[in-house]
Amino acid sequence: MIFDGIPGTDLWVEAAEDRAYLRDHGFPAAHLSDALAYWRHEMPDGSLPPVASIDPLKIPRTALPWSDLIGVVYDPLRFQIRLWGTSVVRAVGHDLKGTWLDEADMKDGIRRLTAVVERRIPYFARIPLTWHVEEYRHRSHYCSLGLPFRDETGAVSRILCFLDFET
């Protein structure tokens, strides 16, 4: 689905209320728009950007602290947190680097990431915030934008996510 104010990229949005939110408000934070623009810029010929284009020097400085790099393995399909940005670590209260999503029972995240792998397009989700550190206790939701990157075979092997914690 292509949204006004977010031109040029189809986004998978699972929930009707998330579609309505994007339609009515667009992205809740500029760093999500910056991250999507970076991803689009790295698409050499309209195909998914290569993993080699994931470069901290290229990722917008506004977005980098909010990043979450997910590794994708196949047979069976699994997802591992390879890197969490400093702002994500602060929001969660600890670093989950190295965590396999299935072992941590992160079923909703697995569902969204599986859709990215299968559809080969970014996703956006606005998710109720049920976990947080004290700094985020007055926030009701967080948002996640997942951007797929391909390996040399063309398979999605990394998903670079960017989070935002709404007020």
Domain chopping of the chain, boundaries? 16-165
CATH of 16-165, one of 3.40.50.2300, 3.30.450.20, 3.40.50.720, 2.60.40.10: 3.30.450.20
Q: Say if CB 41 and CB 59 are below 8 A apart.
A: no
Contacts of 97 (CB under 8 A, 6+ apart): 81, 82, 83, 84
| For residue 56, cis peptide bond before it (omega within 30 degrees of 0) | no
Q: What is the CA radius of gyration of the chain?
A: 15
Residuewise pLDDT in 10s, the chain (167 residues)? 444 445 446 888 888 888 888 888 888 899 999 999 999 999 878 889 999 999 999 999 999 999 999 999 999 999 999 999 998 888 888 899 999 999 988 899 999 999 999 999 999 998 877 665 566 555 667 899 999 999 999 999 999 999 998 64
Let me know how long the chain is.
Answer: 167
Global confidence as pTM? 0.89
Per-residue pLDDT reduced to its tens digit, 130-146: 665 566 555 667 899 99
